[in-house]
Amino acid sequence: MHTHEADSEIMYIISGKGKLINGDSDTPENAAPGTCHYCPKGCSHSLINDGETELVFFAVIPGRK
């Protein structure tokens, strides 16, 4: 798990499957193709590959230069 101290992050799952864990929740969310996840500035999250193939995602950190 890591924390986004200065920026938010948006993740979009392209292929594979996994679990998304938010710092404020004990219940992991399923991550599959088409899943979009938002982690606000100051929050923690983690993405775990629990599938048998690569977990491919696209991440955007708005405002980062």
Residue 20 pLDDT more than 80? yes
Return the sign of the alpha-carbon dihedral for residues 15, 19, 25, 27: positive
Residue 45: CB atoms within 10 A of its CB come to: 21
Question: What domains are there in the chain, each with its CATH number?
Answer: 2-55 (2.60.120.10)
What's the predicted TM-score (pTM) here? 0.84
Residue 39: CB atoms within 10 A of its CB come to: 23
Residue 9 pLDDT more than 80? yes
